Homo-oligomer: A and B are copies of this chain.
Amino acid sequence: MTARLLRQPFGRPLRRVDLPHQVLAKKYALPVFASDALSSVAYATEEILKVLALAGVAYFSDSLWIAGIITLMLVVLLLSYRQTIFAYPNGGGAYIVARDNLGEGIAQVAGCALLIDYVLTVSVSIASGVANLASGVHQFLPSVPDWNAPARTGISLFVLFLMWYVNKRGVKESGRAFAVPTYFFLASTFLMLGVGFFKYTFGGLHSVDPSTVGDLVKADRSLGLFLLLRAFASGSTAVTGVEAISNGITAFKEPKSRNAATTMAWMCGLLGVMFLGITKLALATHAQASTSETVISQLGRTVFSAGSPFYVCVIFSTAAVLVMAANTSFADFPRLAALHAGDGFLPRWLTDRDNRLVYGVGITVLSLCSGLLIAVFHADVDLLIPLYAIGVFLSFTISQTGMVVRWRKVAKLQPGEEQPSYSPEGVLVTTLRHDPRWWLKLGINGFGAVMTAVVTVVFGFAKFTEGAWIVVLLVPTLVFVFFRIHYHYRSVHEQLVPDEALLSSYLTTPARKLMLLAINDFNLHTLPALRDLLQSGGPYTTRQAVHVDVNEHAAAELERRWREERLEERGVPLVILPSAFGGGDVVGDLVSYVRGILAADADVRVEVIIPEWSASGIWWRWLFARGLHHLTGTRLKLAFLSQSRVTVTNHRYVLADRPRARSAA
């Protein structure tokens, strides 16, 4: 069992046919695609309050209209993305929409922004989940000391490790696995809101006692426009994740686009109600902005009571849905990275599925980046939030702008006219059809584009010094790297793909070759190579054995053997090269010899045959054996690594595992 775990830590290898092709009914699609968006309510209200708290508790009431504006923005996004869902029934992520309408460059920016945001989704969701757990534990076990930053960081990294492992094994994206925690979260949250507003209306709703929530956020700054914009920017993290459905339309049951649109409407409805509800309830209960207890925990223990099982449900379901939200990035990030890689903007191996049929490298890269963020920012949601959402809003803007371009193309079509559009791989991406109401749709997407562009700028401006600068610098840097990678692939491709004339000349014109055996003495590792050379040959092949004279005795012995076995008569003459130095530079001597041949004859190709013995066995024994020899073979191979017109043939003789000499000594 342990042995199997060590050998196959991620489970038995799977075959390609095991790749699931699953479609989801709406009730399962909702939890799969919505957990990211819905879970945002766990921190969005709190982050608004924390900014307002810098001016004073008196300004908390402003949170309500800020939340209102964000909810209006959510409606605009819903309307905009409905149109994308119908226009791109095979998946309409920002990358694809941008590539189809705005070109490769903008598509790279959109994809890059999304990749960054997926990393942040993991970090923020895990950190927030752990913060909620910490609040819950503190209520039930007040004697246990508060989880400090190192403890939270450690627990967050452990959760991240578990998620990495589970995803490397490969999760069947079964709707059921997502359904339980998501619906559990919806149920407990709506129960809390219901009971809360009932008590608020009919009396009995207590207030949160500031002395019980630990460290409060305090400052005495004046509430200027800048602070309001910061509060708005923090709150707008609530809408992160709403784009998820547009990426995954193909996972829906037919009619795919209609079902996806309906699910998105449901998602946005639930999200808006919960966000506004939680914000209002936070005001009603005088919830505090605290760095040690989350707002959700304060609401839960005020609406119910600290010891109530309902409170436990609220805390655990929130933590669970946040982990689910983080997990959606483990599907989205590797898939988007593979899309980039397939287009040649990221390393090709990101498109490989490993033997558990997942994009294992992408999963590991995501985990490492998220882990780095968690470690650097001590799993502190407040520190991570300024980096978050700017990427999402940038991709919203690009996606809507792409749609605007698309409607302008539609406007030019005649009734009945159709115009399909394909991806670089030849997959149908979208079909342009005449639409008399193109101006309305263009208007909706245009309004969405302008609105999200404004939010992006506001966000970058208001949060710049708090961390948004990292993302603002990272996006262009990464896009530059993406294009360097792309240039490289193009350059290699251009240099390697032959034209047909060259191709046929290659396969019909013979080429001259010199086979050159580097030989030290007559040994069991040189003999097979020599025998092979004796058997080789052909009309365009010359053969030679070369020996560097570092020891006169050895050279003479080799010449004697050569005569004795009549090897020259069999087609392989022996060349003795004088050694330049005290025997330390056999490799240099051979390399200059080969270079000389190549320089003298511009058409010949040299095949350098290197006989080598190799020790088997465990690594330190191998290393020990390597350390004791001149490694002429290895050094020769390295020397010819970038030498044109040289082929290196490596004959190996494998020694016994265990040296016999102990007994011989």
- List the B side residues contacting A624 at CB < 8 Å: 484, 488
Indicate whether A152 reaches chain B with its CB closer than 8 angstroms.
no
Cβ of A538 and Cβ of B535 under 8 Å apart?
A: yes
Cβ of B507 and Cβ of A524 under 8 Å apart?
A: no
- List the B side residues contacting A485 at CB < 8 Å: 628
Indicate whether A355 reaches chain B with its CB closer than 8 angstroms.
yes
Map CB proximity to B onto A486-498 as digits: 1 under 8 Å, 0 otherwise: 1111111011111
Q: Interface with B: A178-186, A215-223, A649-657, which one?
A: A649-657
Point out the residue from B487, B496, B652 that lies within 8 Å of A643, measured CB to CB. B652
Cβ of A647 and Cβ of B647 under 8 Å apart?
A: no
Point out the residue from B352, B513, B616, B642 that lies within 8 Å of A582, measured CB to CB. B352
Main secondary structure of the interface of A (DSSP, over half): mixed
Interface residues of A in 588-639 (CB under 8 A from B): 605, 607, 613-616, 624-625, 627-630, 637
Cβ of B511 and Cβ of A532 under 8 Å apart?
A: yes
Copies of this chain present in the complex amount to 2
Q: Complex formed: what's the CA distance from A310 to B35 in Å?
A: 90
Indicate whether A569 reaches chain B with its CB closer than 8 angstroms.
no
A385 → chain B closest CB, angstroms: 33
Point out the residue from B484, B496, B630, B650 that lies within 8 Å of A613, measured CB to CB. B496
Cβ of A348 and Cβ of B628 under 8 Å apart?
A: yes
Interface residues of A in 531-588 (CB under 8 A from B): 531-532, 534-538, 540-541, 565, 567, 579-585
Q: Complex formed: what's the CA distance from A360 to B582 in Å?
A: 11
Point out the residue from B491, B580, B629, B644 that lies within 8 Å of A13, measured CB to CB. B580
Q: Complex formed: what's the CA distance from A579 to B13 in Å?
A: 13
Map CB proximity to B onto A66-83 as digits: 1 under 8 Å, 0 otherwise: 000000000000000000
Which residue of B has the minimal Cβ distance to A629? B348
Indicate whether A211 reaches chain B with its CB closer than 8 angstroms.
no
Which residue of B has the minimal Cβ distance to A630? B349
Point out the residue from B490, B531, B536 that lies within 8 Å of A661, measured CB to CB. B490
Cβ of A641 and Cβ of B614 under 8 Å apart?
A: yes
Range class of the A interface residue count: 35 or more
Are A522 and B535 CB-contacts (below 8 A) given A355-B585, A488-B628, A527-B503?
no
- List the B side residues contacting A646 at CB < 8 Å: 652
A550 → chain B closest CB, angstroms: 9
Point out the residue from B19, B352, B496, B649 that lies within 8 Å of A584, measured CB to CB. B352
Q: Complex formed: what's the CA distance from A441 to B496 in Å?
A: 81
Q: Complex formed: what's the CA distance from A665 to B522 in Å?
A: 55
Are A642 and B660 CB-contacts (below 8 A) given A507-B534, A537-B538, A655-B492?
no
Indicate whether A357 reaches chain B with its CB closer than 8 angstroms.
yes
Cβ of B503 and Cβ of A522 under 8 Å apart?
A: yes
Indicate whether A354 reaches chain B with its CB closer than 8 angstroms.
yes
Cβ of B531 and Cβ of A355 under 8 Å apart?
A: no
A140 → chain B closest CB, angstroms: 46
Map CB proximity to B onto A318-357 as digits: 1 under 8 Å, 0 otherwise: 0000000000000000000000000000011101111101
Which residue of B has the minimal Cβ distance to A616? B642
Q: Complex formed: what's the CA distance from A97 to B640 in Å?
A: 46
A433 → chain B closest CB, angstroms: 30
Which residue of B has the minimal Cβ distance to A426? B553
- List the B side residues contacting A665 at CB < 8 Å: 483, 486-487, 490
Point out the residue from B13, B510, B537, B653 that lies within 8 Å of A581, measured CB to CB. B13
A611 → chain B closest CB, angstroms: 9
- List the B side residues contacting A527 at CB < 8 Å: 498, 503, 506-507
A612 → chain B closest CB, angstroms: 10
Interface residues of A in 453-509 (CB under 8 A from B): 483-492, 494-498, 502-504, 506-507
- List the B side residues contacting A582 at CB < 8 Å: 16, 19, 352-355, 357
Are A614 and B630 CB-contacts (below 8 A) given A507-B534, A536-B538, A625-B488?
no
Q: Complex formed: what's the CA distance from A494 to B664 in Å?
A: 10
Cβ of B488 and Cβ of A659 under 8 Å apart?
A: yes
Q: Complex formed: what's the CA distance from A519 to B148 in Å?
A: 57
Cβ of A523 and Cβ of B506 under 8 Å apart?
A: no
Cβ of A628 and Cβ of B489 under 8 Å apart?
A: yes
Cβ of A532 and Cβ of B507 under 8 Å apart?
A: no
Q: Complex formed: what's the CA distance from A629 to B662 in Å?
A: 45
- List the B side residues contacting A124 at CB < 8 Å: none
Which residue of B has the minimal Cβ distance to A648? B650
- List the B side residues contacting A484 at CB < 8 Å: 624
Cβ of B662 and Cβ of A487 under 8 Å apart?
A: yes
Cβ of A652 and Cβ of B647 under 8 Å apart?
A: yes
- List the B side residues contacting A210 at CB < 8 Å: none
Indicate whether A307 reaches chain B with its CB closer than 8 angstroms.
no
- List the B side residues contacting A491 at CB < 8 Å: 655, 659-661, 664
Cβ of A580 and Cβ of B15 under 8 Å apart?
A: yes
A654 → chain B closest CB, angstroms: 5
- List the B side residues contacting A498 at CB < 8 Å: 522-524, 527
- List the B side residues contacting A637 at CB < 8 Å: 650
Which residue of B has the minimal Cβ distance to A512? B535
Which residue of B has the minimal Cβ distance to A351? B583
Point out the residue from B354, B496, B532, B642 that lies within 8 Å of A524, measured CB to CB. B496
Seed contacts A16-B579, A349-B584; 20 additional CB < 8 Å A-B pairs: A14-B581, A347-B629, A348-B630, A353-B584, A354-B581, A487-B665, A488-B624, A491-B659, A491-B661, A492-B615, A492-B659, A494-B664, A507-B565, A535-B538, A536-B538, A537-B538, A614-B641, A643-B652, A646-B652, A649-B649
Q: List 6 A-B contacts (CB under 8 A).
A: A491-B655, A507-B531, A532-B647, A535-B538, A535-B540, A642-B654
Closest 10 CB pairs of A and B: A353-B582, A491-B659, A491-B661, A352-B584, A487-B661, A649-B649, A490-B661, A506-B527, A496-B523, A644-B654
